[in-house]
Amino acid sequence: MKTSPKPAVQILRRATPLRPRLALVLGSGFNAVLDRVEIAACLPYSKLPGFPSTRVTGHDGRAILGKLAGVPVLILSGRAHYYEGHELARVTFPIRVLAEYGIESLLLTNAAGGINRKFHPGDFIRLTDHINFMGANPLRGPIVEGRSHFVDLTQVYDPALATFLQRAAKSAGAKLHAGVYLAVSGPSYETPAEIRAFARLGADAVGMSTVPEAIVARQCGLRVAGLSCITNAAAGQSPHALSHAEVLAMSRASGQRAMQLLENFATLYAKTETD
């Protein structure tokens, strides 16, 4: 994709003199944190050139600049998904904008199905690694402004940011596991046979986002953390069928703890920045 991130960056810079270095992408269930943000500027994605539109229930599309627990943050509330029909280059364009803007660290959040039997709905997991099972890679295509195609993914998820997540969860009273997230293209949920296969491949949780964003963020040199809210047992691991309504209901039910976890994370992040 040839779109430059610069026009969107200019709009974000003009919106407020605040210059956050931390960005959060809010997936299903993490939007409650917006109640705690002292908002300096709020821009719908439709006002940011190159940003994809987001249409799925539970994913509005707004870029918010403000302070969370007194810490400057840039929040992308809502994301576009591959399953909506967008190319991955478009899905991940906002990440290029964050990098050009000057963001250094990025926390990607999402809702996921629990494959690991130790994970229960309402628990959280920090991503230790991922498996890209989407059948597509966001870096495919022409080279973007001199950035290498051949990005090293030996350590996608930053260990220092992972420590902040652990400490943040503990003081929020949230159960935080660690595990491997497997990304599928969706939009159908998986079959029980697929989930059994994914378990054998080493996946602990399954979802339809985050991995493309993490790959592009690493290409841009951002430090990345990944946080999933387990909204359901993966297909075949509970007696009932999966539904988007169930996923949204559980993500809403976890909203308060998610909010506290993110607030604590921002506080810990800012503390080390100033140390």
Tokens 């719908």 map to which residue?
Answer: 44
Residue 157 in tokens: 């998820």
* 207 or 212: CB nearest ligand HPA: 207
Residues forming contacts to ligand HPA in the complex (CB under 6 A) are 111-113, 189-190, 206-208, 231-232, 234, 242, 247
Whether 240 is catalytic:
no
Active-site residue flag, 84? yes
Given 208, 235, 259, 266, the catalytic residue: 208
DSSP state of 234: P
Choice between 139 and 208, CB closer to ligand HPA:
208
CB of 109 to ligand HPA, least distance (A): 12
- Of 21 and 175, the one with the shorter C-beta distance to ligand HPA is 175
Residue 102 or 236: the one with the smaller Cβ distance to ligand HPA is 236
d(CA 11, CA 74): 13
Indicate if 111 belongs to the active site. yes
Q: Is 208 a catalytic residue?
A: yes
* Backbone φ, ψ for residue 121 (5° rounding): -55, 135
Q: Which of 84, 190, 213, 263 is catalytic?
A: 84
Question: Does 59 qualify as catalytic in the annotation?
Answer: yes
For the bound state, the minimum distance from the C-beta of residue 135 to ligand HPA, rounded and expressed in Å, comes to 15
**Residues 84 and 209 sit within 8 Å (Cβ to Cβ):** no
From 8, 69, 77, 81, the catalytic residue = 81
Q: How far is the CB of 114 from ligand HPA (least distance, A)?
A: 8
Dihedral angle, C-alpha 255, 256, 257, 261, nearest 10 °: 90
As a whole number of Å, the end-to-end CA separation of the chain is 39
Q: Measured from the CB of residue 127, what is the shortest distance to ligand HPA in angstroms?
A: 14
Tokens of 123: 């628990």
Query: C-beta of 195: minimal distance to ligand HPA in Å?
Result: 8
Judged by beta carbon, residue 6 or residue 55, the one nearer ligand HPA is 55
Angle at the Cα of 209 (from 214 to 238), degrees rounded to 5? 130
How many Cα atoms are found within 13 Å in the side-chain-facing hemisphere of 24?
A: 32
Rounded distance between C-alpha atoms, residue 204 and residue 181, angstroms: 6
* Separation CA 118–CA 249 (nearest Å): 21
Instruction: Collect all residues with Cβ–Cβ distance below 8 Å to 245 and sequence separation of at least 6.
Output: none
Annotated active-site residue 238? The verdict is: no
DSSP 8-state symbol, 169: H
Judge whether 4 counts as a catalytic residue: no
Half-sphere exposure of 148 (CA within 13 A, CB side): 7
Which residue minimizes CB distance to ligand HPA?
A: 113
Nearer of residues 37 and 206 to ligand HPA, judged by Cβ = 206
- Minimum Å gap between C-beta 264 and ligand HPA is 24
Question: Active-site residue numbers?
Answer: 28, 59, 81, 83-84, 111, 208-209, 232, 244
